[in-house]
Amino acid sequence: MCSMAYIVTGDTLGLAIGPVAETTDDVHEAVRKAREMYETGLVNISIKDEAGHRIDGDELLACIMGKKTITEDLQATPHRQQSKSDDTG
């Protein structure tokens, strides 16, 4: 298979469990896993790929919250938004 592996990691806060890591071959699945980790209370969440790309911090949070879209090379890009000023009413 030629698909890229994405590794999602997060740290537990105050627990002796240690870091958590999950692997997937789909970037959107990786964001879903990161969202689950965030909602569970993990910290220092990041996604990295086999090519050395990485996303974490505010950029990853923006993707988790749906404010930005993630690309396959782990770049956060703004959504294209339609102007709300189209309504002249």
Q: Give residue limits of the domains in the chain.
A: 6-77
What burial letters (b/e) apply to 17-37, b meaning 16+ CB within 10 Å?
eeeeebebeebeebbebbbeb
In the chain, % of residues over pLDDT 70: 83
What's the CA gap between 62 and 27, in Å, rounded? 15
- pLDDT of residue 45 exceeding 80, the answer is yes
Predicted local confidence at residue 16, as pLDDT: 64
Can you give the pTM of this predicted structure?
0.82
Residue 51: pLDDT band (50, 70, 90) is: very high
- pLDDT of residue 89 exceeding 70, the answer is no
- pLDDT of residue 44 exceeding 80, the answer is yes
pLDDT tens for 9-27 read 999 877 667 788 999 999 9
